[in-house]
């Protein structure tokens, strides 16, 4: 992902989330050197992720697929790319937070191998000034590629 991609990324972000990241959030992430990846289907952007690398771990901050492109394996493709990046960087663990109500994403992450390891109370903004809990999930990264990475 580059600065010139942010408008396409924001178009997806605004379709996917009720409380989307701002233009400034994406710029700040790029300037800070976060891992930022854009998935393009050859015609348009269909997804992206941003992740923050620590000493021996990676924290997935945002991963999204355009609504029209969902259900086609794009999230798995991006998770595969992120896991490869983790191994190349020497990361042993991948972390993320997901809305407690987002059962579709939680199911995807569990199927991928993530484990629900905790909860962050009132982590996400919600309707009418409320807050929603996040489920903290973790994936131990093996030295060998994950089974899903072996697919063509």
Q: Which residues are catalytic?
A: 97, 109
Q: H or E element: which one contains 103?
A: helix 103-112
Sheet of strand 35-40: strand arrangement:
35-40, 45-53, 57-65, 93-99, 131-140, 115-125
Return the sign of the alpha-carbon dihedral for residues 63, 129, 118, 25.
positive
Helix (H, G, I), strand (E, B) or coil at 98: strand
Nearest to 132 by CA among 96, 105, 95, 98: 98
Q: Do residues 35 and 85 lie in contact, with contact meaning Cβ atoms separated by under 8 Å? A: yes
Nearest to 82 by CA among 111, 57, 45: 57
């Amino acid at each position: 992902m580059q600065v010139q991609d942010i408008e396409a990324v924001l178009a997806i972000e605004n379709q996917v989330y009720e409380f989307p990241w701002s233009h400034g959030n994406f710029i700040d992430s790029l300037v800070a050197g976060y891992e930022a990846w854009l998935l393009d289907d050859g015609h348009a952007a269909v997804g992206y992720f941003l992740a923050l690398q620590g000493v021996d771990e990676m924290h997935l901050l945002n991963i999204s697929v355009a609504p029209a492109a969902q259900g086609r394996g794009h999230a798995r493709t991006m998770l595969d790319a992120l896991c490869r990046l983790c191994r190349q960087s020497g990361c042993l663990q991948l972390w993320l937070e997901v809305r407690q109500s987002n059962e579709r994403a939680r199911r995807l992450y569990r199927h991928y191998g993530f484990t629900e390891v905790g909860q962050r109370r009132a982590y996400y903004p919600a309707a009418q000034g409320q807050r929603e809990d996040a489920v903290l999930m973790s994936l131990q990264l093996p030295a060998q590629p994950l089974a899903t990475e072996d697919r063509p």
